[in-house]
Amino acid sequence: MSNETFIGPVDAFGSLPAFVEVDGTPYWLVRREDGGYRLLMALCPHAGGEVLRTDGMFYCPLHFWTFDETDGVCLNVRDERLARRDAEERDGSLYAVGPVY
């Protein structure tokens, strides 16, 4: 069984980051620095709170942790980051691929 899930056509996401749900899990679809795509889990690694977006970054309103919008690195707590999953574009469509890491 393949470990990939169809996310949608690329042109369905007019602007990024875009909130998406993949296999019942909330993610933010973002652009990597190299132009590819990545999924950042929209759940805080600290207490599992919903991760929201504001002013070019992600944040958890439970304890105000903030995260970089491209790679999910926590901006105020060292060695923490959002869980992520790779995303690939093929023939104009996006797919979540591989495990969450």
* Residues 23, 96 contacting (CB under 8 angstroms): yes
Average confidence score pLDDT of the chain: 95
* CATH no. for 4-97: 2.102.10.10
What ranges do the domains of the chain cover?
A: 4-97
In the chain, the amino acid numbered 55 is D
Rounded to two decimals, the pTM is 0.93
Chain centroid, CA 45 distance in Å = 13
For the segment 75-88, the average pLDDT, to the nearest whole number, is 96
- Give the pLDDT band of residue 14 (cuts 50, 70, 90): confident
28: left (phi over 0), alpha (psi -120 to 50) or beta: beta
